[in-house]
Amino acid sequence: MEAELRDKCDELVERIEHLRGCLDYAGKQKRLASVSERMNMPDFWNNSEAAQETVAEMRRLRSVVGPLESLLKAKDDLAILVEFAEEDPASEAELQTTVTQMEADIDRVELQATMSAPEDACGVYLQVQAGEGGTDSADWAQMLLRMYARWAERHEFDIEEIDISHGEEAGIRNATIAIRGDYVYGYLKGETGNHRLIRISPFDSAGRRHTAFAAVDVSPELDDNFEVDIDWESDVREDTYRSGGAGGQHVNKTDSAIRLTHLPSGVVVQCQNERSQHKNRATARKMLQAKLYQMEMERRDAELAAKRGAKSKIGFGGTTVRNYVLHPDQYVKDARTGTKVGNPQPVLDGDLDEFLESFLRWTLSSQNN
């Protein structure tokens, strides 16, 4: 049997064993047995609300345990096929077919494993804010906003503009959009942080190379199943202002735009996409709930990371996500995973899946390290 095929088989076995550990397969099996026993009790449906929660937990457990069971069985079958291939080279073709299928199955389970939290199934509020670099950064922020919108369109997700503030010469100072669809937050949660562009500036008459920064922040758009405790009367200040368009033109003559400030945390959100103040207020409240929920998740993540002795994810604008280099070389490189592509244009046109999926797998491989 060829050494390359043998190494690939060993790699697949290692990936399956890693999944078994980081997903706590043994613990979930025990929990599944306990939940199943509870559901078989004669008084199970006496409390309808509790019963529905238990049924939902059963579904979540099965969605993890079932695919893992299939992979573990495939691992045992692989060991047998490897033995056959070592004794009979004619069996290598069947082994190669099995390896190809197993690799696809493992890829799918790994991605599912990275999106197992309840909020991963949500849509997102995605904010882009121009950083250092003047007009270049404002233009870069608009390019990033377009990139995420194109990504959403590729996946047939819904997009809604929530708030936008245009730059003085070009681009945007900041903007917030909502992207709605299945598991949008699960895919985009790793995009929070700094994005750096290096290019010949179209705004520099001398044609010099410039570096521009923009920060991206991604929060889950929560539904009514998520509870966020906010004292709207005492903890939140509301300001109204006129919705503004490009170049300072007013969209309307009434103070319909809403800005909310959460006083204990300092978090500020705003919405001006609707003519109705009531609708803008409702959207701004949902955005504030999303931000506070995200902050709580980051706090818990930091506590878990401290227990493991690892670094936690840094919040808004705190860490470099990707470098987009248009001059003198041309490439896009993820600063965390090392994933690199040599043609920036498709990425800027929304071809992000390779980066998004490699980050999710990177987070999985980092667990228990």
Among candidate residues 163, 178, 162, the one with its CA nearest the CA of residue 122:
178
**Domain identity same for 306 and 190:** yes
Given a cut of 90, is residue 16 above it in pLDDT?
yes
- Of the pLDDT bands very low, low, confident and very high (cuts 50, 70, 90), residue 294 is confident
**Domain identity same for 267 and 343:** yes
Question: Mean pLDDT throughout 172-182?
Answer: 94
**Domain identity same for 195 and 339:** yes
| pLDDT confidence of residue 311 | 43
Last residue of a domain, one of 114, 146, 170: 114
Distances (CA, A) of 243 to 269, 282, 322: 14, 16, 33
**Domain identity same for 131 and 275:** yes
Beta-sheet strand order (sheet of 267-271):
236-241, 257-262, 267-271
Last residue of a domain, one of 93, 114, 135: 114
Q: How far apart are CA 31 and CA 14, in angstroms?
A: 25
Q: How far apart are CA 62 and CA 60, in angstroms?
A: 6
Q: How far apart are CA 356 and CA 62, in angstroms?
A: 26
| pLDDT confidence of residue 304 | 62
Given a cut of 80, is residue 207 above it in pLDDT?
yes
Q: What is the mean pLDDT of the chain?
A: 88
72 vs 273 pLDDT, higher one: 72
Given a cut of 50, is residue 197 above it in pLDDT?
yes
**Domain identity same for 222 and 328:** yes
| pLDDT confidence of residue 135 | 93
Contact 54, 38 (CB under 8 A): yes
Q: Which residues contact 266 (CB under 8 A, 6 or more apart)?
A: none
**Domain identity same for 163 and 261:** yes
Question: Mean pLDDT throughout 73-83?
Answer: 95
Question: Mean pLDDT throughout 195-220?
Answer: 93
**Domain identity same for 164 and 305:** yes
**Domain identity same for 205 and 350:** yes
Domain of 213 in residue numbering reads as 119-366
Q: How far apart are CA 344 and CA 143, in angstroms?
A: 12
Last residue of a domain, one of 54, 81, 114: 114
Q: How far apart are CA 189 and CA 356, in angstroms?
A: 9
| pLDDT confidence of residue 318 | 60
- Of the pLDDT bands very low, low, confident and very high (cuts 50, 70, 90), residue 38 is very high
- Of the pLDDT bands very low, low, confident and very high (cuts 50, 70, 90), residue 254 is low
**Domain identity same for 246 and 200:** yes
Q: How far apart are CA 226 and CA 328, in angstroms?
A: 47
Question: Mean pLDDT throughout 303-330?
Answer: 69
Q: How far apart are CA 251 and CA 273, in angstroms?
A: 9
Q: Considering the entire predicted model, what is its pTM? A: 0.76
Among candidate residues 305, 309, 303, 337, the one with its CA nearest the CA of residue 323:
337
How does pLDDT run across 236-249, given as a tens digit for each residue? 999 998 876 443 44
Dihedral, 185, 193, 312, 103 alpha carbons, nearest 10: 50
Least reliable range by pLDDT among 129-138, 157-166, 311-320: 311-320
The residue behind tokens 């936008």 is 164
CB neighbours (10 Å) of residue 291? Answer: 23
CATH code at position 190 = 3.30.70.1660
**Domain identity same for 143 and 263:** yes
- Of the pLDDT bands very low, low, confident and very high (cuts 50, 70, 90), residue 305 is low
CATH code at position 109 = 1.20.58.410
| pLDDT confidence of residue 316 | 42
Q: How far apart are CA 252 and CA 256, in angstroms?
A: 8
345 vs 115 pLDDT, higher one: 345
Q: How many domains is the chain partitioned into structurally?
A: 2
Give the CA diameter of the chain. Answer: 82
247 by DSSP, 3-state: which?
helix
For the record, the structure tokens of 244 come out as 């503004």
CA angle 103, 107, 109 (to 5 degrees): 115
**Domain identity same for 356 and 282:** yes
How does pLDDT run across 339-355, given as a tens digit for each residue? 999 999 999 999 999 99
Strands 193-200 and 320-325, by their bridges, are: parallel
Question: Mean pLDDT throughout 150-166?
Answer: 95
Q: Name residue 195's beta-bridge partners.
A: 214, 322
- Of the pLDDT bands very low, low, confident and very high (cuts 50, 70, 90), residue 121 is confident
- Of the pLDDT bands very low, low, confident and very high (cuts 50, 70, 90), residue 301 is confident
CA angle 74, 79, 85 (to 5 degrees): 120
Q: How far apart are CA 228 and CA 230, in angstroms?
A: 6
**Domain identity same for 239 and 318:** yes
